Structure 1
């Protein structure tokens, strides 16, 4: 039963993250238009091509978490932690240049979704047993 609860929480979190990627994060801009470099150099008005956007690390972390749900708890937890670090890293960079009230619904969906993925992967049992 615990694995079912873990999967439901992880999938609900991933849906939240997915909606967060297509909804505006700041100034009406969605995640595909936000440069990945904003994580390291601070938020500015630059736009990004899809491959250099915030979508890439979020999708990689989400895929790592999902594949870990099938294989190992450690890999699932690593993906979830990476997802939280990426999303919260962007929030911290944004907080340095604007009030948190200026951040829009897409970012908050990604924040809450990433936390749900982290909780779901923590709920996953270490060993998956076959029913006898």
Structure 2
């Protein structure tokens, strides 16, 4: 059975840091070259987080600062993987032609061959 405080801790721990949080941390870090512990204290004070509340840890702060130095942005990197294909007539025709030539090949294999998302390929089987 979860105590009320434990339930809150779980929901806070699973929360993602938004852009406002990231900007605040990077600004405070660069303001006076503040150490991470001081940045964490300022973060708690600014966002009204209690002593036991979740704050970005040392590695997270350093990762955000390094990302800002590298890209000039605090936004996350785009996820790796195949970029989503646009549903244009040419792509639909390519999928239909590939299925016509090799009808026994799976939609997933066709998607890899055509460099498209597998759900796009399987939705155009019919």
Q: What TM-score does the superposition give when structure 2 sets the normalisation length?
A: 0.26
Higher relative contact order (CA 8 A, sep 6+): 1
Q: What TM-score does the superposition give when structure 1 sets the normalisation length?
A: 0.25
Structure with greater helix share of residues: 1
